[in-house]
Amino acid sequence: MPSPRILIKDHSAEANLFARRTFIGLLVVIVMIAMVLTNLYYLQISRFEDYQTRADGNRIKVLPVAPNRGLIYDRNGILLAENRPVFSLQVIPEEIDDLELTINELSTLLDIDAEDVSDFYRDLKGTRRFKPVNLINRLTPKEAALFSAQQHKYPGISVEARLARFYPYGSALTHVIGYVAKINKKDLQKLSEAGFEANYAATYDIGKRGIEKYHEEKLHGKVGFQEVEVNNQGRIIRILDFNPPAPGQDIVLNIDMTLQLEAEKAFAGKKGSVVAIDPRDGGVLALYSSPSYDPNLFVHGISSKNYKKLLTTDRPLFNRATQGQYPPASTVKPLLALTGLEEKVITPEYQIHDFGKYQLKNVERIWRDHNPWGHGWVDVTKAIEVSCDIYFYDLAYKLGIDRISENMNEFGFGDYTGIDLHEEADGIMPSRGIVKALFNRPWYIGDTINIGIGQSYWTATPVQLTQSIANLVNKGRRIIPQIIRGNMQKDNVVLQAVKERRPIAIKDEHNWDIVLDAMYGTVNRKGSARTAFRGTNYTSAGKTGTAQLVSIAQDEKYDASKLSKKNHDNAMYVGYAPYDKPQITITVVLENAGHGGAEAAPIARKIMDNFFKDQTFPEHKVIEYLGQEPEEIELTKAELKPVVEPPDAEN
């Protein structure tokens, strides 16, 4: 058997094959290195600026910084709304091993309300775990000290300080200043629609009522920002740049705090309101609604328990001074008298004989006077002084509703006053068309007669009544009530312009004097307010009113003892002083209190006594007016109509 052939290797061929493979491999490596270098050049040189910006965007964050809210002062420099440091208990969930156990322990230690715990877990949802969440919005000093002593046991939990609104006079100014509260979803939506959302990026509170809401843009300020460096987990490492926020403007109100406190004292335990205005410039000197409530309850979020306490039949949340709509009763008799004189329906000498009742021919209905035996022969001056109903029944009948409605519209009835509060009602100045539209019934002559004593469908707010009296004592000059007086600039006050409407033009200027003299007689001769103002060191004038709330049959006599308290008459008074050069006009409304001369006028006197006895002057020098001449404006009812929403229980 032949032996197998031994193959001899071709070394030359193998060497060539290896060389080719080595060359191809080297070529691939070179190409790949070239690609890497090219891409590296593209990233590091060609696109350096672009990627540097992106890197900085991941490393540097711009955070908003909330501005300090502007302070609020009264006309004498008394601080009415301030910012005070408060301490809150903050939790960083990421740093806590057992969050639920820790919260339970803290609840026991600090006696945390179950509602606060529920709010905490609600706020926790949707919040990144390394960001702090408030467990308690406002710690008491005792709670802060108690936790500080145990803080070493609770990593991830700390006491943090911030500025929060505080109202030192509490319920005395609630319906003037209002309050701020936590921004909610509805607020955010409105801010977004108005284009202001960015300016509230770091803000916790927003004005919800009163001046705080009406002048929110002035008081809030402008947001600032800080550039910070963060790590890959989003934690701040250091601050790179800081642009401070612009604080809100400090504002000064026309309110005189001494008058406001006098009003609060006078209305203790009573329901009603008082409005006092300076007729020279429309400045609101006092505005108080009773009962009231402490606005500080809303600043940190009112509890359901406390909110329910405010939902009583006494309605403390309701601003009676600007939203309360009452029959004006006899307080409008001077204005009706002026209308009668202007329309030449009566003259200063015209008289009727008051037997205590009024009846039209061929009409069974009898209208009675508050004085059952009448007032005898009565002219326009005496009719105002003694508040003779019979005279004004007859006057209203002769004038007719059309002329009455047209003239009373000129004095502001049935319209918004333009006061710088969103919480305002417009009342009802009846006319044939309005009664048909609102009540779907025709106008009857009996309605006109009742209008003569400020009853029927006629309703007015206390601020409307005060404005109408200011228009009267100004002899047609129509000022717009304003709560804000001006802005603070260092230690000076920059006053805003006085706002006015087109003046009331009348045919005979002497008619103003006739009516004003009769109001003088109401207080200083034998009028219905003579007792209340006896012995003052100033001369005042005014008109009482007693508004009937329920109908009384013709053969019956009004007897308060037979009626429930809510159906008792409202006591009212409008007035001004001094008589020759008025500095204050005032309206007092006491619900279910009885007669205006006996109940409302004495309160008006207390406030006026305070005004003239303890009258103070601004501590701040007035450096300029924002307008040297009064600003005359014409606003439609639609433009004046305020937007009012009910308080949010969670705020």
For residue range 79-88, list pLDDT tens digits in order: 999 999 888 8
Tens digits of residue pLDDT in 254-301: 999 999 999 999 999 999 999 999 999 999 999 999 999 999 999 988
Report the share of the chain in percent with pLDDT over 70.
87
Torsion angle in degrees (nearest 10) through CA of 89, 95, 97, 103:
10
Question: What pLDDT, on a 0 to 100 scale, did the predictor assign at position 506?
Answer: 94
| Separation between Cα atoms, residue 107 and residue 203, nearest integer Å | 28
Question: What pLDDT, on a 0 to 100 scale, did the predictor assign at position 234?
Answer: 56
Instruction: Report the relative pairing of strands 179-182 and 224-230 from DSSP bridges.
Output: unpaired
| Separation between Cα atoms, residue 146 and residue 311, nearest integer Å | 35
Question: What pLDDT, on a 0 to 100 scale, did the predictor assign at position 649?
Answer: 53
Average pLDDT over residues 430-443: 92
Judge whether residue 443 has pLDDT over 50: yes
Question: What pLDDT, on a 0 to 100 scale, did the predictor assign at position 50?
Answer: 61
Tens digits of residue pLDDT in 135-173: 777 788 888 888 888 887 888 888 877 889 999 999 999
Task: Give 216's contacts (C-beta < 8 A, 6+ positions apart).
Answer: 206, 207
- 617 pLDDT band, cuts 50/70/90, is very low
Judge whether residue 626 has pLDDT over 50: no
Question: What pLDDT, on a 0 to 100 scale, did the predictor assign at position 153?
Answer: 81
- 97 pLDDT band, cuts 50/70/90, is confident
Average pLDDT over residues 62-67: 84
The answer to whether the beta carbons of residues 140 and 300 sit under 8 Å apart is: no
What's the half-sphere exposure (Cβ side, CA atoms, 13 Å) at 421? 27
Question: What pLDDT, on a 0 to 100 scale, did the predictor assign at position 333?
Answer: 97
Judge whether residue 230 has pLDDT over 90: no
Mean pLDDT estimate for the chain: 85
Instruction: Report the relative pairing of strands 478-479 and 499-501 from DSSP bridges.
Output: antiparallel
Please give the residue that has the higher pLDDT: either 418 or 23: 418
Please give the residue that has the higher pLDDT: either 1 or 185: 185
Backbone angles phi, psi at 295, to 5 degrees: -65, -20
- 5 pLDDT band, cuts 50/70/90, is low
The answer to whether the beta carbons of residues 432 and 297 sit under 8 Å apart is: no
Question: What pLDDT, on a 0 to 100 scale, did the predictor assign at position 619?
Answer: 40
For 263, the 3-state DSSP assignment is helix
Question: What pLDDT, on a 0 to 100 scale, did the predictor assign at position 503?
Answer: 94
The answer to whether the beta carbons of residues 470 and 479 sit under 8 Å apart is: yes
- 174 pLDDT band, cuts 50/70/90, is very high
Average pLDDT over residues 40-55: 65
Catalytic residues: 330
The answer to whether the beta carbons of residues 207 and 216 sit under 8 Å apart is: yes
Residue-range domain boundaries for the chain: 93-155
- 419 pLDDT band, cuts 50/70/90, is very high
Sign of CA pseudo-dihedral 22, 24, 27, 28: negative
| Separation between Cα atoms, residue 208 and residue 179, nearest integer Å | 6
- 106 pLDDT band, cuts 50/70/90, is confident
Report the share of the chain in percent with pLDDT over 90.
51
Lowest mean pLDDT among 197-206, 245-254, 266-275, 623-632: 623-632
For 132, the 3-state DSSP assignment is coil
Tally of CB atoms within 10 A around 211: 26
pTM of the entire structure?
0.82
Please give the residue that has the higher pLDDT: either 551 or 217: 217
Please give the residue that has the higher pLDDT: either 44 or 612: 612
| Separation between Cα atoms, residue 645 and residue 651, nearest integer Å | 13
| Separation between Cα atoms, residue 649 and residue 651, nearest integer Å | 5
Please give the residue that has the higher pLDDT: either 408 or 117: 408
Judge whether residue 621 has pLDDT over 50: no
Judge whether residue 625 has pLDDT over 50: no
